[in-house]
Amino acid sequence: MAKYTDSAKELLEHIGGSENISVVTHCATRMRFVLNDTKKADADKIEEIDLVKGTFTNAGQFQVIIGNEVSTFYNEFTKIAGVGDTSKDEAKVAAKQNMNFIQRMISHLADIFTPLIPALVVGGLILGFRNVIGEIGMMGPNNEQTLVDVSQFWAGVHAFLWLIGEAIFHFLPVGITWAISRKMGTTQILGIVLGITLVSPQLLNAYGVAGADAIPVWDFGFATVDMIGYQAQVIPAILAGFVLAYLEIWLRKVIPNVISMIFVPFFALIPAVLIAHVVLGPIGWTIGSWISNVVYSGLTSGLGWLFAAVFGFAYAPLVITGLHHMTNAIDLQLMSEFGGTNLWPMIALSNIAQGSAVVAMIILNRKDEKEKQVSVPAAISCYLGVTEPAMFGINLKYLFPFIAAMIGSSIAAIISVGSGVMANSIGVGGIPGILSIQVPDMVMFAISMLVAIVVPILLTFALAKTKMGVNAYERLGK
């Protein structure tokens, strides 16, 4: 008998049997099920299985936390259940059947930005490191000189790293149009080419438009089109990417297969590029500017503290619903309009707060060896910017640490926004996130981080002694 046979049989029974499984796959630590009838899954009994460390439902999928051995367990489970191997993309498609319209829209947005996140995080770390060596005075008699000022080596590193930073953030539209073509199942190289036409060196750089004496144009005799680039612009790239994708999908339906290889790319790409520069680019720029101005004005107004309090408190619940993916687009738009974002620091603080609540639970339940297998890795990943294991594996299970983290995040967000903290870019959404903060704001962000660590820990200890905490322990049989 294989190592996980008994656990696999138990899971299959309590999840409603093979006939209730539409799709099953796994990620690094979790089994992901799309069920025909979610009511047939008995979460309580599933969580009693020794190997299982928790369950939750997200994005139309019933997810079972297994741990690092998930891949081996998955193989054993699929043999016993008689269900085939399924890709994550197929699982996502099936999961959309369990989503409403808004959830599907958010899922589409997530599908666009999720493939870009590794590059955005790397870019944030690079800009943060350039911050440290190029902006922080640490040399000279009065520490007024930076490493770049006194060392040719570090000056070279500073200049070299901008090559990567510029590629990630200034040429972001290329990544967006590629991600859309990938998501829509259309020709990815056409998506890349479209993105390049939005940021080509032939165009007037988006950052130079405001100070330009004259804007170059393409002159067609009867009309002219402004030669403006859309470096770092999010919404123009999204709109253009979808136009290209839908054009290609439509053309493949109407053009015969024998000539589609020639005419589909031609009649899809040229109109898409023209529409992007004549219509969608200007409209998208206007929409993006409006959104970023509203958010920035709200955060810097006299009521900025209230916006910060609400956002800091509500961000973790947004993660549960998947709505947090919208903030990626807003952050990137703020960066292009204002040279930084005051929204992202609050996201990093929320992640830290959730991790801190888990740290408190580790201390409170230090004798529970099974829970430590979930809580210790969850706290570490939270402090490095990945909150789902902490929230679904520990905080939401007890509820009171989740609330403590939300309150701590809210207070930290008020301090961050009230002191005008700005980040140069999106970065690692946890403690290393301080590297992405603009140098003059690092001290205040460090204070905000301290609040996001201390307050959730103390509140979790306090709430554990209240009726809420006692009820949580009784409900979980502890």
Phi-psi region of 420 (alpha: psi -120 to 50; beta: other; left: phi over 0): left
Give all strands (DSSP E) within 19-149, no chain letters.
Answer: 21-26, 30-35, 54-58, 61-65
Helix (H, G, I), strand (E, B) or coil at 154: helix
Cβ count near 370 (within 10 Å): 12
Q: Of these residues, 10, 20, 22, 27, which one is catalytic?
A: 27
Domains of the chain, start order: 5-99 (3.30.1360.60), 116-293 (no CATH), 301-327+336-475 (no CATH)
CA-based radius of gyration for the chain: 25
Q: What is the Cα–Cα distance from 169 to 457, expressed in whole angstroms?
A: 36
Residuewise pLDDT in 10s, the chain (478 residues): 467 888 888 899 999 988 888 888 877 677 888 888 888 888 888 888 877 877 877 666 788 888 767 878 888 888 888 876 554 454 455 445 555 555 566 666 667 877 887 787 788 778 778 877 887 777 777 777 888 888 899 999 989 999 998 888 889 899 999 999 988 889 999 999 999 999 998 998 887 776 778 888 898 888 888 898 888 888 899 999 999 999 999 999 999 888 888 899 999 999 999 999 999 988 988 888 887 888 888 888 888 899 999 989 988 887 776 566 677 778 887 887 788 888 889 999 999 999 999 999 999 998 888 788 778 888 888 888 777 778 877 888 888 999 999 999 999 999 999 999 998 887 777 888 888 888 889 899 999 999 999 999 999 999 999 988 888 887 777 6
Q: What is the Cα–Cα distance from 96 to 110, expressed in whole angstroms?
A: 13
Q: What is the Cα–Cα distance from 235 to 329, expressed in whole angstroms?
A: 8
- Run of H or E residues at 342: none
Is 27 annotated in the active site?
yes
